[in-house]
Amino acid sequence: MSRDLKYDEFFFRRENRIVSIMDINNNYLYYQNEMFCPDCHRAELSFVNNTNKTPHLRTKQNSTHTQGCPHNYNVASNKTIIKCFTNLTSEQIENKLNSMMRYLCVAQHTRNENTSSNNVEHNPMLIKTQKSQETKEIQAIKRKSFNIAINEKDLACICVFYGKVKLSVEEIIQDKKHYAFLKIFAKNKQKFNIYIPKHFIPKDIETDTEYNFVAIGTIKNISEFLKIELLLGQKYDDKSISIKYQKC
């Protein structure tokens, strides 16, 4: 896994808004010199499109992030994230998901308020682990927009998947088993599905409605429907399911 947190979007300073990297297309000159970190709004970014790698954003040399910005920290390993969430109560998981929803989807323009040095403890995209008896280590949780292409490098990495999507529920009852697949349709035509146990099947999904959606888990395969296996997938009995959605 890469130790760096990738950019799926940027803060467009001239218009004071968050823009997806997919929107750059052939309009780079329009955004040039106005692209900044989507989290702290301080570090200036450049668009790299002249290498053998997939086009991407990177921090300009000598440009710095605020102390509390997730892009200042290494990406946490799967093991670290699992340990962190296993120790959370259902209420804490629910609060974490609500905070991630606000941070990534609902109140993007206020993200920089959560990246000051005073807010490291409260930033939902950061986790703190005990490195030794005297020191703690801060790490960032990897994130992936539903509307950015998924590739082989994304497999098996625990991410916070987020974005504006449409949803549908395929409910299945067979062999005395009752479960569902939550189907997710992104704007870029990517499709995902998530296994949902009986007692967590959503009853309020409207198929023609756009939702802000957050899920924590891993991509398990590259196919027509990309399967997301949720974090805490084996602990549905007492834990909150690691998804959150609300109408846009």
Q: Is residue 145 part of a domain?
A: yes
Q: Please give the chain's pLDDT, 248 residues, in tens.
A: 456 899 999 999 999 999 999 999 778 999 999 999 999 999 999 999 876 778 899 999 999 998 889 999 999 999 999 988 888 888 888 899 999 999 999 866 666 666 555 577 788 999 988 777 778 899 999 999 999 988 888 898 999 999 999 999 999 998 889 999 999 999 888 999 999 988 889 999 999 999 999 999 999 988 889 999 998 644 445 556 789 999 99
Q: Is residue 30 part of a domain?
A: no
**How many angstroms separate the Cα of 201 from the Cα of each of 60, 150, 231?**
45, 26, 17
Q: What is the pLDDT of residue 236?
A: 47
The number of domains in the chain is 1
Q: Give the C-alpha distances (Å, rounded to integers) separating 224 from 53, 156, 189, 192, 193.
A: 24, 17, 10, 8, 10
In a domain, 1, yes or no: no
8 assigned to some structural domain: no
The CA distance from 128 to 123, in Å, is 10
Residue 122, in any domain of the structure: yes
Backbone angles phi, psi at 28, to 5 degrees: -55, -40
The answer as to whether 56 is a domain residue is no
Residue 221 tokens, joined: 């395969």
Residues 6+ apart with CB under 8 A from 159: 141, 142, 143, 144, 216, 217, 218, 219
pLDDT at 180: 94
Q: How far apart are CA 153 and CA 192, in angstroms?
A: 17
Q: Print the domain residue range for 226.
A: 75-247
Within a domain: 20: no
pLDDT of residue 78: 95
pLDDT value, residue 1: 45
Can you state the percent helix, strand and coil of the chain, rounding each to 5? Answer: 25, 35, 40
Q: Are 60 and 45 in contact (CB under 8 A)?
A: yes
Run of H or E residues at 91: helix 90-101
199 located within any domain = yes
